[in-house]
Amino acid sequence: MAVYIVRRILLMIPLLFGITVISFLVVHLAPGEPTDMMTDLNPKASLEAKERLRALYGLDQPLHVQYWRWLGRLSRLDFGTSFSSDRRPVLEKTLERMPVTIGLNVLSEIFVFSIALPIGILAAVRRGSLFDKISTVGVFFFFSVPTFWLALLAMLLFGVKLGWLPISGLRSFDHDQLGFWGRMADLARHLVLPVVVGSIGGLAGISRFMRSGMLEVIRQDYVRTARAKGVPEGQVIWRHALRNAVLPIITILGLSVPGLIAGSVIFETIFAIPGIGQLMWQAVMARDYPMILGNLVISGVLTLFGNLVADVGYVLADPRISFSGRG
């Protein structure tokens, strides 16, 4: 087991390099220089001043030299300072937003799994029934609907027309004046729309998956045996079929760990949620290059680690996988 983990970590090193190389190359796709942003708006900037600025940032060096220096700074976790008006370090801004995004995604995942699994199981157990047919069509439909549109509609219906739920941000204006429970309730009210709408796509996929996994398990011989032995149907489902049908779900769960980190940009922008996605969008709109680059690298690295966690979890969960044969 430990050997497997060590091997995986070693394999990750070239990938880490790859991430930095690609990110670096993408940045230099831009016609013009990162420092143009600072100098273009200042008509008094002379040619010498521009040159000095470039030298300061090391932009007059050949590309590979620039890359090494950047890599050196990265390894000290120095992602540079944001170009935007607050000039705070990129790392700081990103880290403070991450809990929001991750929290939201985790909540969505919990929501998805708690609803999709029962739907999938029921659909499989009552295969061909009205419930199955309706859920199949429904799932297909939800899969095709663009979530950001659904979010808009939900905002329209629940926020504007019915006025039940707030449509932006995580807190109301008077949030700090409410008592503890008041603040919890406020937070919850703000979270309802984003979590529910954000889960729709996942609901569709996971319930489908659960259904086919369950169907496959029900066909197995050991289920037949249990039924032949006279085990009551409820127990057949619960104790025998379900345990094995859940394994692929764990894989999916693991696969979605990397997705937790990348905030949905569109989502957070619509709902004005202060997460990483919104940060990225703002950075792009403002051409805040250090921020964009830093976010890209950070998210890439985190995804890589997320994959590692997922793989390890997968190996742990399924006893049929041998430790030495993977990777």
Binding residues for other proteins, per CB under 8 A? 14-15, 18-19, 22-23, 26-27, 29-31, 127, 140-141, 143-146, 148-150, 152-153, 155-156, 160, 212, 215, 258-259, 261-262, 264-266, 269-270, 277, 280-281, 283-285, 287, 289, 292-293, 295-296, 299-301, 303-304, 307
What is the nearest approach in angstroms of other proteins to the Cβ of residue 163? 11
Q: Choose between 148 and 323: whose C-beta lies nearer to other proteins.
A: 148
For residues 267 and 245, what is the distance between their CA atoms, to the nearest angstrom?
32
* Residue of 240, 242, 260 whose CA lies nearest to 112: 260
Specify the residue, 187 or 266, whose C-beta has the smaller distance to other proteins.
Answer: 266
Q: How many CA atoms lie within 13 A of 258 on its CB side?
A: 17
Of 12 and 253, nearer to other proteins (C-beta) is 12
Which residue number, 23 or 199, has a Cβ lying nearer to other proteins?
23
Min dist. Cβ of residue 89 to other proteins (A): 19
Shortest reach from residue 248's CB to other proteins, in Å: 15
* 195/301 with CB nearer other proteins: 301
Q: For the CB of residue 44, give the shortest distance to other proteins in the complex, in Å.
A: 26
The least distance separating other proteins from the CB of residue 307, rounded to whole angstroms, comes to 8
Instruction: Give whichever of 117 and 265 is closer to other proteins, judged by the CB atom.
Output: 265
Q: Which is nearer to other proteins, 231 or 313 (CB)?
A: 313
Closer to other proteins by CB, 138 or 183: give it: 138
Shortest spacing between CB 183 and other proteins, in angstroms: 27
Rounded to a whole number of angstroms, the minimum distance from the CB of residue 143 to other proteins is 7
Q: What is the dihedral of CA 139, 143, 147, 153, to 10 degrees?
A: -50
Q: Identify which of residues 283 and 315 has a Cβ nearer to other proteins in the complex.
A: 283
Give least dist CB 281 to other proteins, A.
Answer: 6
Instruction: For residue 19, give Cα distances in angstroms to 31, 92, 186.
Output: 21, 21, 40
98, 274 Cβ separation under 8 angstroms: no
Q: What is the 3-state secondary structure (H, E, C) of the chain?
A: CHHHHHHHHHHHHHHHHHHHHHHHHHHCCCCCCCCHHHHHCCCCCCHHHHHHHHHHCCCCCCHHHHHHHHHHHHHCCCCCECCCCCCCEHHHHHHHHHHHHHHHHHHHHHHHHHHHHHHHHHHHHCCCCHHHHHHHHHHHHHHHCCHHHHHHHHHHHHHHHCCCCCCCCCCCCCHHHCCHHHHHHHHHHHHHHHHHHHHHHHHHHHHHHHHHHHHHHHCCHHHHHHHHHCCCHHHHHHHHHHHHHHHHHHHHHHHHHHHHHCCCHHHHHHHCCCCHHHHHHHHHHCCCHHHHHHHHHHHHHHHHHHHHHHHHHHHHHCCCCCCCCCC
Closest separation in Å from C-beta 194 to other proteins: 15
